Structure 1
């Protein structure tokens, strides 16, 4: 027996390159739950498209004719609060990441990511919005710049996603189990683990948990609250 079919995830594509839109549409079409409902070659068209269709996700390029990406994101967020804006760009720039996330984007992805990572990211921002306030797929240098800013403002060296991964590690979960729980790929889990080890100066999972617990970043394994998936 098969389980109940998942509700469709509607997506609008905003990119001034037709070839790029065609490629993304074809990638998403390999997953039956995704439905591309509209395409836009400019910022103005993207805003009008969202106003008319109210998609679950807007995949937004940052270099298009019309309003800049910050203006597009703010207008989309104002008129369609349930539409999740996912930035997909070639620009690996910490300042741009900061600006667009502040404007209301929920993910900042580079066009060099794998097909599986794009699909996992789009799925995650809709299926598990409470579990990932921000998704990043940028260079390690950019992540480190952003994390240094976050650490200075919040007093912790780890991002929210890295803390989620740590909790999973404390539950003795494998990389595959973590990827399944957090709706990310195993490659992304490994990247988070690398960042966690570097930030905590840890040499293993056990060492990372020990240091994170000592720093009160997470609770001891026996005190972790039970995980509950969002409805």
Structure 2
């Protein structure tokens, strides 16, 4: 969760479907640290917005009138080097992912991504190094991007990090985890930061999914402990 008084992330939306832009605005408005400052319905308009507004993030669809998505990304990164381009699309295509990342996109997300992961990804591309990228795609696409990743990556978590993650999976807040383990809330946050880095996760939900896939925590009978009512959110 962003600290009180943290800078508000300025976001532009680029999608040729009005309903999609409206839906994205409603989702982003649930986070007080995000604000939508502009909208575009073509690739050319997206470049113009980036040039005039220099937003922190542009959520970019790949199928819009105008230049192709790779060219739009190139133009945006040249015109507004401080703007991070986060691609949001229905296409789970490793070739497209590879091309857009090579042209300067900071992340690639499928439109099936849950609201909390979308918001976490927007914050993540702003906080992370320009050399880092955010990916929310299928395992098949990841494996085709890097054949070496076809084997599960061995992640080592400390005993305490596993304890923290198990309690997060029980829908406990940071404060509740701290009380349960007799540690400070700041220590819990530090453990979560380390866990995110080790799992290459962008949110609590993403970390739980990856930890369950790596058999670092028990996914429970239904395979998704965080899908129950009161499940962990990324605002804690």
Instruction: Give the alignment's TM-score, normalised by structure 2.
Output: 0.70
Kindly state the Cα deviation for residue 145 of structure 1 after the two structures are TM-superposed.
Answer: 1.2
SS of residue matched to 1:6:
coil
1:188 and 2:206 correspond: yes
Shift in CA distance, 61/180, structure 1 to aligned 2, threshold 3 Å = farther
Tell me the equivalent position of 1:172: 160
1:1-231 aligned within 5 A: 4-127=4-127, 129-130=128-129, 133-148=132-147, 151=148, 166=155, 169-170=157-158, 172-173=160-161, 174-175=164-165, 176=168, 180-181=192-193, 182=196, 184-193=202-211, 197=214, 204-205=215-216
Partners of 1:90 and 1:110 within 8 A in 2: yes
Partners of 2:134 and 2:202 within 8 A in 1: no
Q: For residues 60-116 of structure 1, give each alpha carbon's deviation from its aligned partner in whole angstroms, at most 9, with x where no partner exists.
A: 000000001100101111111110100000000010000001111111000001000
In the alignment, the residues of structure 2 paired with residue 67 and residue 74 of structure 1 have an alpha-carbon distance, to the nearest angstrom, of 10
SS of residue matched to 2:78:
helix
In the alignment, the residues of structure 2 paired with residue 13 and residue 138 of structure 1 have an alpha-carbon distance, to the nearest angstrom, of 20
Aligned length: 185
Partners of 2:106 and 2:130 within 8 A in 1: no
- Which range moves more in the overlay, 73-82 or 51-60? 73-82
Tell me the equivalent position of 2:174: none
Partners of 1:124 and 1:132 within 8 A in 2: no
Shift in CA distance, 157/146, structure 1 to aligned 2, threshold 3 Å = same
Partners of 1:125 and 1:132 within 8 A in 2: no
Uncovered stretches (5+) of structure 1, i.e. residues with no partner: 198-203, 207-231
In the alignment, the residues of structure 1 paired with residue 11 and residue 210 of structure 2 have an alpha-carbon distance, to the nearest angstrom, of 27
Uncovered stretches (5+) of structure 2, i.e. residues with no partner: 169-187, 218-236
In the alignment, the residues of structure 1 paired with residue 106 and residue 141 of structure 2 have an alpha-carbon distance, to the nearest angstrom, of 17
For the aligned residue pairs, the C-alpha RMSD in angstroms reads: 2.7
In the alignment, the residues of structure 2 paired with residue 97 and residue 80 of structure 1 have an alpha-carbon distance, to the nearest angstrom, of 21
Instruction: Give the alignment's TM-score, normalised by structure 1.
Output: 0.72
